[in-house]
Amino acid sequence: MKKRYYDNMRKSQPQLDELFYGKKSGFSIGLAHHNFGAFYSIYPCIFSFFIEGLFIKYNVEMNAFVFLVIFAIPVGICYIPAYKAVFSNDKYLQYFKLFEKEDEHWHKKWKRRTIAFIFGAIASLFLGVIIIAVIVTS
């Protein structure tokens, strides 16, 4: 029974690897796609918060639709070109080929850049909240 169990595990391992790490439709690609969109979309929030702060300050009435449109337009304008540059026509597969060719030092450099990208997105979100608070209260 134990032998059959391990034989079946060994046989199903390529399918599990494809499910989790497949370059076209694996779980890790879906997660990377989601995280890229989330963190990249945060950067234009500074501009959105600035516009919303001005709108709140100079217009008394503010409905949810206008608030959403003011927020979504700058984010959409900035996100669409980045999405097309990375994910349209599976361009990210070219980046995989580049990453596979490089050495460990190069990978460490890109890991640091990725971490800086994430922290920059979080910092820009906080900066946007501070900007809207300063505009509204002044």
Domain that holds residue 68: 35-137
Instruction: Name the domain count of the chain.
Output: 1
Q: Which two tokens stand for residue 44?
A: 């234009």
In a domain, 86, yes or no: yes
- The per-residue pLDDT for 12 is 83
Between residues 32 and 117, the one the model is more confident about:
117
In a domain, 132, yes or no: yes
pLDDT tens for each residue of 79-106: 888 878 777 777 777 777 777 788 888 8
Q: CB–CB of 74/128 below 8 Å?
A: no
Q: CB–CB of 34/26 below 8 Å?
A: no
- The per-residue pLDDT for 131 is 92
pLDDT tens for each residue of 41-64: 888 888 888 888 888 888 767 788
Between residues 34 and 105, the one the model is more confident about:
105
Per-residue pLDDT averaged across 17-30, rounded? 72
Instruction: Report the C-alpha gap between 91 and 94 in whole angstroms.
Output: 6
DSSP string computed for 27-85:
HHHHHHHHHHHHHHHHTTHHHHHHHHHHHHHH-S---HHHHHHHHHHHHHHHHHHHHHH
In a domain, 98, yes or no: yes
In a domain, 73, yes or no: yes
In a domain, 29, yes or no: no
In a domain, 18, yes or no: no
pTM: 0.71
- Is residue 78 over pLDDT 80? yes
Per-position b or e across 126-135, b if 16+ CB within 10 A of its CB: eebeebbeeb
In a domain, 1, yes or no: no
